[in-house]
Amino acid sequence: MKETKIYYVRESLIQSVLSDTFSFAVFAGLLLFNHKVLDGRWYIDIFFLMITMMFLSAQSKAKEFNTNKELIEFLQKGGKDETASK
């Protein structure tokens, strides 16, 4: 039987738009920096792209649960991550 994963993401529309705008601005700024200061080499663009993708993938806002019961218990506790406070 295939294992089902449940993801819970709590982010408002404004937070999502600001996060995407900031991500795009950082990437565009790195490319601009490369072309204005570092002579615009294509391999530096690729390096900056890889660094940006690694940074963005490490910032997970989703919490993963294996069952609906785990998600319900998490939400009943107020939706706070216990490991974040330690």
Each residue's pLDDT tens digit, 5-60: 766 677 778 888 888 898 889 888 888 888 888 888 888 889 888 888 888 777 66
- Is residue 27 within 8 A of residue 16, CB to CB? The reply is no
pLDDT value for 57:
74
| Domain carrying residue 33 | 6-85
pLDDT value for 6:
67
Q: Is residue 1 part of a domain?
A: no
Q: Is residue 29 part of a domain?
A: yes
Q: Is residue 22 part of a domain?
A: yes
Q: Is residue 60 part of a domain?
A: yes
> Which pLDDT band holds residue 85 (cuts at 50, 70, 90)?
very low
Q: Is residue 18 part of a domain?
A: yes
**pTM higher than the cut 0.85:** no
In angstroms, rounded to a whole number, what is the distance separating the alpha carbons of residues 11 and 50?
25
Q: Is residue 63 part of a domain?
A: yes
pLDDT of 80 > 60? The answer is yes
Residue 38's alpha-carbon distances to 20, 24, 33, 48, in angstroms, are 26, 20, 7, 12
Domains of the chain: total: 1
Q: Is residue 62 part of a domain?
A: yes
